[in-house]
Amino acid sequence: MSIADAFGRAADYDRHAAVQRTVAGRLAGRVAALPLAAAPRILEIGCGTGLLGAALVDRLPGARWHMTDLSPAMVERARQRFAGRPDIAFATMDGEAPDIAGRFDLIVSSLAFQWFADLPGAIGRLGKLLAPGGHLVFTTMAAGSFAEWRVAHDGLPCGTPDYPEAGALSAMGLGVTIEALPVRHHDARGFLHAVKAIGAGTPRPGHKPLTPAQLHAVMRRFEEAGSIASYVVATCVLGASGEQARA
């Protein structure tokens, strides 16, 4: 299943997106404190159903938004959320290969960049779309995410993707801060359902699914450890000239 399909089929995304909503809210506060141009032109990558927009649009009066997502279904849901807003345009676009004209004072994204196959290349391409004095600000999953689920595999192959280390992100010219957000689920099945509902159930390339007996053993160990799964979130900032912005 492609990433676009995974998110497009996440019909109950908002109901399971508590962490995404928290991360979006904190990112909105960070962005609102930036020294942005008056009436900034803003490009959002991976807008989803509009969680970040809902937390930010009213904090940046006069801004002109371009909300984009790889999933047409998500774009449509964001369009419905912000119906009647002439200051917001919508488009289906692959943020890793942006196809949009103009320069932007702010390019922003919440928990979408972890799906990029070539993160350094994407950052370089997006950086070229920044206006002088502009900022690229995004959150992404980082190394250590879902460590508890990995531990429960006890040597069995785990399909959880490998997320970047903070040092690797810094080496891309980014200012980086890291925060861990542990979430306690009712049980392993609840964890798996929540991950699938937010479109994050796509395994790493080449992963061979566990047998039912193996998966049952992993779920049991996960529950015995408290059914906790931690999101490790990196907030990354890049200035317009490619310099590392202070995080």
> Please, which residues have CB within 8 angstroms of residue 119's CB and are 6 or more apart in sequence?
113, 140, 164, 172
| Rounded to 5°, angle at Cα 28 from 22 and 30 | 110
The domain segmentation of the chain, as residue ranges, is 3-145+161-183+230-239
Q: What is the pLDDT of residues 62-94, one digit of tens each?
A: 999 999 999 999 999 999 999 999 999 999 999
Q: In the chain, what percentage of residues exceed pLDDT 90?
A: 78
pTM of the model: 0.88
Question: At the topology level of CATH, where does 3-145+161-183+230-239 sit?
Answer: Rossmann fold (3.40.50)
Q: Lowest-confidence range among 9-23, 136-150, 207-221, 227-241?
A: 9-23
Q: Lowest-confidence range among 82-86, 196-200, 219-223, 229-233?
A: 196-200
Closest CA to 192 of 163, 165, 152: 152
Tokens 């007996």, located at residue = 213
